[in-house]
Amino acid sequence: MDLIPAPLGYQGFGSTDGFLLDRNTVVDAQPGTEGVARWLSSTVGAATGLPLAPGTAGAAIRLRIAAGSARPESYALHVNADGVTLTGGDAAGVFYGAQTLRQLLGPDAFRRAPVNPGRVWKLPSCAVEDSPRFGWRGLMLDVSRHFMHKDGVLRYLDLLAAHKLNVFHFHLTDDQGWRIEIKRHPKLTETGAWRARTKWGHRASELWTQTPHGGYYTQDDIREIVAYAAERHITVVPEVDIPGHSQAAIAAYPELGNTDIVDTSQLAVWDTWGINQNVLAPTDNTLRFFEGVFEEVLALFPSTFIHIGGDEALKDQWKKSPAAQARMRELGLTGEDRLQSWFIRHFDTWLTDRGRRLIGWDEILEGGLAPGAAVSSWRGYAGGITAARAGHDVVMCPEQQVYLDHRQDGGADEPMPIGYVRTLEDVYRFEPVPPQLAPEEARHVLGTQANVWTEVMENRSRVDYQTFPRLAAFAEVAWSDLPPSAERDFAGFEARMTGHYARLDALGVEYRPPGGPLPWQKRPAPNGLTASLGRPIEGSPPNV
Ligand code: ACM
C-alpha cells in the first residue's frame, strides 16, 4: 500500500474482496464524529459523486470513538465486504482514519468532482492500526514577506490535513508586512500591510519589482481560517514577532521605535530582506500597545500556545539609545540580552495569567528563559537541547534540515539557489530528537515543524514548489514510527511517492517533479539581467 505517511500497521486481506461504495452507502457517525462525517461527504463525496449521507441502515462507513483509553489521534480502520468501521482514540483519530480511507480509494478521490461518473469505488479489505509519533506536527507559513490570500491559506490547511499534520504556525507579522487586522490599532494594516516595491530574489539580489505588494486578513477572515482548521483538527498558532522583525509596526506607529536615535517617522514598511536594525523601544507604551494586540489575538485564536517571535532582535539601537539604557538601569538589567528577555518574560507572565503559553524562537534563551516558555529550535538542535534539559518544551525545526526555502537540489536549474541543498531524501532522514537527549529530556520535544519562509516565493506556485514533495517526507518523519535516519527505507518511500504524486496532481499541487523543475518552474532573471538571485551555501549542513 502506498499510504503516506506510513501507518504503524497495515494488513491486506486479498485483492478480490473489498467494500464497494455506491449511492446507498451511508455514514453512521457516533456523536462526536459528525465533523468527520461532514468532511467525508463534502470531500470524498464531491470526488466520487456519491452522497455519503448520514444514516445507519445497510452498508455503512461507521465512525466511532473508542471507549476507554486509546491514544489521542490514534485510529483503527477495518474494511470488509459489509462496510467500514473506523474507530478513533478521539475525533482527531477518526479524522486521520478518514484521511487514510481517502488514500485507499486512489488518486481520483482527491479531485473536487468526479472524472468518470460510472466508475466503481472500491476499498480493499484491510485492517489499519495507526497512531502518530509526535503530538506537534507542524508547518509554519510566512505570509508577511509575501502575502497569501485567504483562499490559499484554506487550501494549505487542506494540504496539511491530507498529510496528517496538526499545527499551522501562522507567521503574521514581520518587517515587510503586518497581516492581521487589529481593531484598536488600525494603522497596523492601513500602513503596515503594504510596501511600495519588492525585492526579486534573495537578499544578495539587486533586482526589484516596482509593483506595490501587500494585503491582510480581516478578523472575520481569521475566524474563518481558525474554524476551517479546527474542523480539520489543526491548531492555528499565531505569531506576532517582537521585539525585532517589527519595522512594519514601527512604520505604522513611529512611537514604537527608538525615537531618541532614529527618526522613525521616516520609516516605511521594509522593502528588502535580511535582519533589520529597527527594534521596538523598551517603553511602557510598547508593552501596553502589544498587550492590546495580544488581547485581540487571544480572542481570535483558541490555541494554548501563542508565538511571540523573539528571533534576530539586533541590540545595536538599545546600545546606542540613551532612553533604552536608562530603562535598563531603572529595571536593574545588565546587558541588552536581558532587555530582550525582559520583553519576553513580560509576555510570558501576561499570557500565563490568561491561561495560555508562550512559545518563541530559540533566541529567547538568551538573557534567561521565561519560566513557562517553550522554544522553537531553529538555529540547529542546540537551543532545543538546552531548553529541554532545563525542563522546557521544544519544537524542533532546525534551519539546516527543515527550512523549505532552502534549495532542493544542487543543480543550476533550481529557481532560487539559496541555502543548503535539502533533498527529499535529506528531509526523509531528518531526526527531530537529537541523540544527546536522555529519554526524560526527550519527552520535552513536543514534535517538529517545517518552516516556509517566503522571501523567494512570490506566489502560491512558488510556495507549492518549495514545499512539495518535501512536506510529504516531513509528514512521515513527524507521524510514522521510523527507524533511525541511516536505516530509513528511502527507496521504499520513493516507491510509495509514485502513488502520492498522483494524489498531489489530483489536488493541483505544483510540486517539484522528481526529475527537476519543469520549464516554467525555472527562473531565469527578467529582462536578461544576470544579477545573482541568491547565495547558496556549499557543503553539508553542520549537525548542530
Ligand atoms: C528565523 O528563521 N528567523 C526564525
Pair 342, 360: CB distance under 8 Å: no
- State CA 248 to chain mean position distance: 22
Instruction: Say if ligand 1 is within 6 A of residue 305 CB.
Output: no
Nearest-atom index, ligand 1, CA of 245 = 3
CA dist., res. 292 & res. 231, Å (int): 28
Pair 188, 240: CB distance under 8 Å: no
* Residue 215, pLDDT score: 98
pLDDT digits (tens, 9 = 90+) for 436-472: 999 999 999 999 999 999 998 989 999 999 999 999 9
Give distance in angstroms: CA of 139 to centre of ligand 1.
Answer: 14
Query: Which residue among 312, 314, 363, 403 has the greatest number of ligand 1 atoms within 8 angstroms of its CB, and so is best to mutate?
Result: 312
* Residue 518, pLDDT score: 93
Mean pLDDT score of the chain: 94
CA dist., res. 513 & res. 465, Å (int): 9
φ, ψ dihedrals at 436, nearest 5° = -65, -20
> Is pLDDT above 80 for 155?
yes
- 312 is annotated as an active-site residue: yes
* Residue 303, pLDDT score: 98
| 3-state per-residue secondary structure call for 290-325 | HHHHHHHHHHHCCCCEEEEECCCCCCHHHHHCHHHH
Give distance in angstroms: CA of 212 to centre of ligand 1.
Answer: 25
Residue 342 pLDDT level (bands cut at 50, 70, 90)? very high
Query: Which residue among 378, 395, 454 has the greatest number of ligand 1 atoms within 8 angstroms of its CB, and so is best to mutate?
Result: 378
Q: Helix (H, G, I), strand (E, B), or coil: what is residue 525?
A: coil
Pair 535, 204: CB distance under 8 Å: yes
Instruction: Say if ligand 1 is within 6 A of residue 224 CB.
Output: no
User: C-alpha grid cell for residue 519?
Assistant: 520549464
The protein residue with its alpha carbon nearest to ligand 1, atom 3, reads 311
17, 260, 271, 312: the active-site residue: 312
Instruction: Say if ligand 1 is within 6 A of residue 312 CB.
Output: yes
130, 174, 181, 441: the active-site residue: 174
CA dist., res. 133 & res. 446, Å (int): 10
171, 202, 233, 245: the active-site residue: 245
User: CA-based angle 72:76:82, to the nearest 5?
Assistant: 145
Q: Helix (H, G, I), strand (E, B), or coil: what is residue 155?
A: helix
- 245 is annotated as an active-site residue: yes
CA dist., res. 479 & res. 336, Å (int): 40
Query: Which residue among 449, 453, 454 has the greatest number of ligand 1 atoms within 8 angstroms of its CB, and so is best to mutate?
Result: 453
> Beta strand 177-178 with 173-174: parallel, antiparallel or unpaired?
antiparallel
Least confident of 221-235, 268-282, 415-429, 530-544: 530-544
Give distance in angstroms: CA of 19 to centre of ligand 1.
Answer: 48
> Own/partner pairs for 404-412, CB < 8 Å, 24+ apart?
404/450, 404/451, 404/452, 404/466, 404/467, 404/470, 404/471, 405/451, 405/452, 405/453, 405/454, 405/455, 405/456, 405/457, 405/466, 407/536, 408/466, 408/470, 408/512, 409/512, 409/516, 411/516
Give distance in angstroms: CA of 396 to centre of ligand 1.
Answer: 13
Give distance in angstroms: CA of 244 to centre of ligand 1.
Answer: 11
Give distance in angstroms: CA of 326 to centre of ligand 1.
Answer: 29
Give distance in angstroms: CA of 311 to centre of ligand 1.
Answer: 6
Residue with cell 543548503: 420
> Is pLDDT above 80 for 540?
no
Mean pLDDT of 304-333: 97
CA dist., res. 196 & res. 208, Å (int): 11
Q: At residue 117, what is the residue type?
A: P
User: C-alpha grid cell for residue 328?
Assistant: 535598563
Write down the domain spans for the chain: 9-130, 136-482+507-531
Nearest-atom index, ligand 1, CA of 399 = 2
* Residue 535, pLDDT score: 62
* Residue 542, pLDDT score: 63
Q: Can you say whether the dihedral through the CA atoms of 261, 262, 264, 270 is positive or negative?
A: negative
CA dist., res. 326 & res. 348, Å (int): 23
Instruction: Say if ligand 1 is within 6 A of residue 431 CB.
Output: no
Between 3.40.50.2000, 3.90.105.10, 3.40.50.720, 3.20.20.80, what CATH number should domain 136-482+507-531 receive?
3.20.20.80
Give distance in angstroms: CA of 257 to centre of ligand 1.
Answer: 21
Nearest-atom index, ligand 1, CA of 312 = 3
pLDDT digits (tens, 9 = 90+) for 104-125: 999 999 999 999 988 999 999 9
| Percent of the chain residues topping a pLDDT of 70 | 96
Instruction: Say if ligand 1 is within 6 A of residue 361 CB.
Output: yes
Instruction: Say if ligand 1 is within 6 A of residue 379 CB.
Output: no
The protein residue with its alpha carbon nearest to ligand 1, atom 1, reads 311
* Residue 199, pLDDT score: 84
φ, ψ dihedrals at 173, nearest 5° = -135, 145
* Residue 529, pLDDT score: 45
> Is pLDDT above 90 for 153?
yes
Residue 416 pLDDT level (bands cut at 50, 70, 90)? confident
User: How many Cβ atoms from other residues are within 10 Å of residue 519's Cβ?
Assistant: 6
CA dist., res. 407 & res. 417, Å (int): 6
- State CA 444 to chain mean position distance: 20
- Say how many CA atoms lie within 13 Å of 270 toward its Cβ: 25
Q: What share of the chain is helix, strand, coil (3-state, %, to 5)?
A: 35, 20, 45
> Is pLDDT above 50 for 528?
no
Is pTM beyond 0.85? Reply is yes
CA dist., res. 280 & res. 252, Å (int): 12
Nearest-atom index, ligand 1, CA of 309 = 4
Instruction: Say if ligand 1 is within 6 A of residue 378 CB.
Output: yes
* Residue 531, pLDDT score: 45
Pair 201, 339: CB distance under 8 Å: no
**Domain 9-130, CATH:** 3.30.379.10
> Is pLDDT above 80 for 83?
yes
User: C-alpha grid cell for residue 478?
Assistant: 513527524
> Is pLDDT above 70 for 532?
no
User: How many Cβ atoms from other residues are within 10 Å of residue 410's Cβ?
Assistant: 12
Give distance in angstroms: CA of 467 to centre of ligand 1.
Answer: 17
